Chains A and B, each alone.
Chain A
Amino acid sequence: MLTSILIYIFFLASAPLFIGVVNKLKSRLTGRTGPSLFQPYYDLRRLLRKETIYATSASIISRIAPVIGFVSLLFAGMILPIGFYKPLISFDGDIILFAYLFGLARFFQILGAMDIGSSFEGMGAAREATFAVFAEPIYFFTLGSLAFIFGCTSMYEIFHSISLNNPAFLVFISVASISVFFLMITETSRMPVDDPNTHLELTMIHEVMILDNSGLDLFLYQYTSYLKILIYATFTSNFFNPFNVQNHYLGFSIYIMIIFILIVNLVWIETMMGRFKLKSIPQYLLFAASIGILNILVYSFFNK
C-alpha cells in the first residue's frame, strides 16, 4: 500500500516530465536544440505566480471546472497499474469507472469552455464533444474485449491475465495497442488530430478550450492535460507488461522503457505527419474502433 502511494506520487510528479521529453526529442529531430527537459515544470511554476483573470461572462462553472477535471483524473490514475505495483483502487468493474471518470472531466471541461460565451471556446468544446463520442467505444473495444475474454472486470486483473506466450494474444495485444495509441492521440490532442503548438484558434481543440483561462486555472488545466497523457501512455504500456514476471524492479524498468518507446513513437509521428483535416478525424477514429472489432475476431479464430 505504502509503495503504491509512493509510486503514485512519483507518477504525479513525473507527468510534466513526459511532455518535457517529448518536446526535447521533437526539437532534436527537427534540428533544434529545444527547451530544457524541465520546461513544463517552469511553465507550471510561472502559471502559479500569475494572477487569475476571469471573463466578465464567467460564472462559478469556470471556477469549479478545472478543479473537477483535475480531481477526476487524479482518481482515474489511481486505477491504473503502474509498473508491477498494485493500483490504489482496484475492484470488480473499475474499468467502467475509469472510462466514466474521463467522462466527468470532459463534461466539466466542456462546460468550463462554454462558460465564457465566446465562439472560440464554443468551437473547441463542440469538437471535443464530437471526438469524445468515438473515444469511449475505442476504449471498450480494446480493454472491454480483453475483459470479456478473461472474464474479469478489474484493470489490474485483466493486465495480469495477459500472457505473451500465446501467439493469439500477441496479435491481439499489438492490434489493441495500436487502437489505444490512436485513442491516446485523440484524447490528449496530439499531432494528427490536434496541434498542441499552434495558436490558430480555428484549428485547435484543447488549446482553444482554455483560451480564456489564466493563472491557477490554467495551471490546473495544463497539469491535468500532462497527467492525462501520462495516464494514457501508462495504459498503453500495460498491454506489453509481462506481468507474469513477478519482479517489481524489473517490471518498473520495463515500464519506463515502454514509456520511452511510446515517446519515440509519438515524436516520430508528430515530426513526420501534419494535422488531419478536421472532417477526416471521425474517419480516423472509426478506423481505430473498427480494428477493435477485428481484434476480437482475430482472437476468437485463434481460440478455436
Chain B
Amino acid sequence: MIVNIFFIGIIIQMAFAIIPLFIKNQKTCSAVSHFGAMAGIIISFSATSAMLLFKPPALVDIYSHAYWGMFNFRFDSLSLFFMILIQLLSIPVLIYSYAYQKPYIATGKSIKLSVSSFILLIASLQLLVVANHAVLFLIFWELMALLSYLNMIFEHEKPEVQKGSFIYFIATHAATFFLFAFFLILHSVTGSYNFSDYHIISDGSALYYTLFVLGFIGFAIKAGFMPFHFWLPRAHPIAPTYLSAYLSGVIIKLGIYGIFRVFEFLNPTDPFLGWAVLVISMFSTIFGVWYALAQRDIKTLLAYSSIENIGIIGIGLGVGLLGLASANQSVIILGFGGALFHTFNHAIFKTQLFIGAGIIYQHTHTRDIERMGGIIHSAKWLALLFLVGSVAISGIPPLNGFVSEFIIYNSFFKTAGNFGNYYPFFMLLMTVGLALAGGLAVAAFTKVNSIMFLGTPREEQKKLFNISKAEYISIGIPALMCVIIGIFPQTVISFIINILQGMPLVASYGRDYSMIARIFPDLMPLTKIFISLFLFAPVIYMLKKFICHGKTRISKAWGCGYQHLTPRMQYTASSYADELNAIPAHILLIKKEATVIEHIFPAKAGFSSSTGDYAEDKIVRPVYERIISFINGVNFLSRNDVRIYIAFILGTIVLYLALAFIWKY
C-alpha cells in the first residue's frame, strides 16, 4: 500500500519532468515542472516517513517489492535514511533551481533539457537507494552519472565547462568500472544478483580483500575520499549552482550509502580494514580543509570542504569497522551513528552554502572571492544566512555541525575506553587530528565570510543585490534546520536510532531502542546550554544597545595617519591564508609569481599565486600521460593497408596456436 504511494510519487515526478517539455512558454514550463515535481516529492516523502514511522522494529526488511525479475526493490532502514535525505534536500534545491533558471529564461536560453533532466535525476536517485538488484542498481547509478552530466553542461558553450564536466564524466565511469567488477565477483561468489542475498563472511582470502577494495574504491571515488577526489574541485565550480548544491549535498552521500552497503555485504571483521579507512579519512579531513583554505574560487573551496566532511563521515565509518572487528556494540553504534548524523548535517549546510554561493554568483558574476567584499552592506540577510552555514560547517556550537562532531569525538573516547591496549594512543591522535581540522575549518570559513561579505567592495558592483523570495526560502530552509538540529539534536538522534535498529550490521548485536539510545551520549546538557546561549546573547546585546544609546557615532576607520583606507588596502583571501598555507606548500603546490620593483622609475609590478591539486597534478595526470604516450607508441602499427592487417591476424592466430600447443603438451 504505502509502497504504491511512494511509486505514485515517483511517477508524478517523472511525469512532471517529461510533460512540461511540450509547453511552449519556457516560464510556464519551468514553473509547472518544478512545482509538479515538488508535489511528487512531497507525496513520496510522506510515504517514506510513514514507512519509517509504522515499521515493526524487529524487521530489517521493511518492504520488499519484486515486480518481474530485475525490478526488485527493497525498503530497508539504510535506504530509507538516504531516501529521506534525498527528498528533504530536493525541496530547497528545487526552489533554488526555479529561481536560478529565471534570468536564463529572460535571456532566451533553452532551459527545458536541464530542468527535465534534473527532475529525472531526483527521481532516479530515489529509486537508486531502494534498488535491490545489482543490475538495476548499476542502471540507476549510470542514470545518476549521465543526468548530472547533462545538467553540468548547462553552459556548454564555455570551454571550462566542457573540460570540467569531461573530468567528471571520466571519474564517474572509473567508479562504475570498479563497481562492475565488484558486483560481478559478488555474483560469481553468491550466484545471485539480489542485494538481500549478499552475506559474505570474511575468510581472509585474497578474493575477499579484492572485493572490499573494489567496492570501497568504487564508492570512494563518488564520495570523494582524498586520493580519489580529483573530480570534485573540477566539476563543482563549472556546474550550475543548483546542481553543485545537489552534488555536494546529496550525490556524493550516495557514495557513503554504497560504502555502507559494501560493509553490509562483506561483514568486515578485520581491524586492519578499520584502520585503513580511518587513515584515508583522516587524510581527507585534514588535507581537504587545508586545500579549501588555499582556494579563491568559492565553489572550489566548498568542494574541498566537502572532501573534509566526507573524511569526517569516513572517520565515523572507520570507528564503526573497528567496533565490528571486536564485536563491540557501543563502538559500532557510536561510529556508524556519528557517520550517519554527520552525513545528514553536512547535506544540510553544504546545500545551504552552495545556494548562498550561487545567489552571490548571479549578482556579482564572479566566483573569485578576491573580487568581492562588503556584500553584507547590500544584502544583510544573505550574509547572515551564509554565516549560519559557515558556523555550522566549522563544527562550532551551537549549531548542528558541532553535535555530530561531538558524537564522533565520543566514539573515540568509547573506543579507547572499551579496547584499551594500544587503542588510546591512536584514538588520541585521531582526536587531535579532528581538532586540527576544526581549527583549519575556522580559518577557512572566517576567510570566506570576511573576504566575501565584510569590509568594502573590492570591485564596483555592476548590479544591485535584488534577492528574490524564492532564493531566500531556499537558503532559509536549511539554515533553520541547522539551528533546530543544533538545539534539539535528540530529534535526529532518535531518527538515527530507528535506522540503526534496522541495519543488519548493528542489529545482530541487539536492536532494542532504549539500549541503543543509552549508548549515545546524553545531549540534554547541550540543549540546555545552547538554549541559554541563544537567550542570553540577545539579552546582552540589547543591554549593550541600551547603554550605548545616544553615545554611538559613525566615523572613518583608523587610516594610520592617511586620509582614508581604500578597498585595495584590505587584506585579501590569499594573504589571510598565507601563513597557514606556507606549512604544507609542497602538497598544496602553491606557485607564486611576482615582478620585483626595481630602478628609480619602476615598471608595472604584479603578484599572482595559484594552487594545484597533488592527486591530480602528480598522480592522475602523469599516469594518464603515460597511457597516452603508450597508445601513441603503439599507434605506428595502424596503417591503412589491408595486407598488413591480414598479416597481423595471421600472426595472432599462429601465436594462439603455438601457445595452445605449449599448454597442451
Contact = CB atoms under 8 A, between A and B. Distances in A.
Interface in B532-565: 532-533, 536-537, 540-541, 544, 547-548, 551-560, 565
Interface in B418-456: 424-425, 427-428, 431-432, 435-436, 438-440, 442-443, 445-447, 449-451, 453-456
A300 to B, nearest CB: 7
B436 A125 contact: no
A148 B571 contact: no
Contacts of A107: 391, 394, 396, 442, 445-446
A118 B555 contact: no
Contact of B413 (A132, A151, A201, A289): A151
Contacts of B536: 71, 74
B119 to A, nearest CB: 38
A46 to B, nearest CB: 13
Contacts of A48: 547
Nearest to B545: A63
A153 B413 contact: yes
Contact of A93 (B384, B409, B442, B579): B409
Given A104-B396, A110-B450, A133-B439, A212 B377 contact: no
B402 A100 contact: yes
Nearest to B384: A60
A145 interface: yes
Interface string B401-417: 01001100110010011
A89 B575 CA distance: 40
Q: Which of B427, B532, B579 counts the most A-chain CB atoms under 10 A from its CB?
A: B579
A57 B394 contact: no
Interface stretch (A35-43, A134-142, A167-175, A176-184): A134-142
Contacts of B560: 120, 201
Given A57-B374, A89-B525, A96-B409, A114 B455 contact: yes
A261 interface: no
Interface string A288-301: 01000000100010
Given A52-B548, A60-B376, A91-B525, A140 B442 contact: no
B593 interface: no
A70 B405 CA distance: 24
Contact of B443 (A130, A289, A300): A130
Interface string A33-65: 000000000000000101111111111110110
Nearest to A217: B544
Given A53-B552, A117-B454, A136-B438, A153 B410 contact: yes
A215 B551 contact: yes
B651 interface: no
16 contacts: A50-B551, A52-B552, A57-B565, A61-B454, A89-B529, A91-B522, A100-B395, A100-B396, A100-B397, A110-B450, A119-B569, A122-B570, A140-B432, A148-B431, A296-B425, A296-B428
Interface of B: 373-374, 376-377, 380, 383-384, 387, 391, 394-398, 402, 405-406, 409-410, 413, 416-417, 424-425, 427-428, 431-432, 435-436, 438-440, 442-443, 445-447, 449-451, 453-456, 521-522, 525-526, 529, 532-533, 536-537, 540-541, 544, 547-548, 551-560, 565, 567, 569-571, 575-580, 583
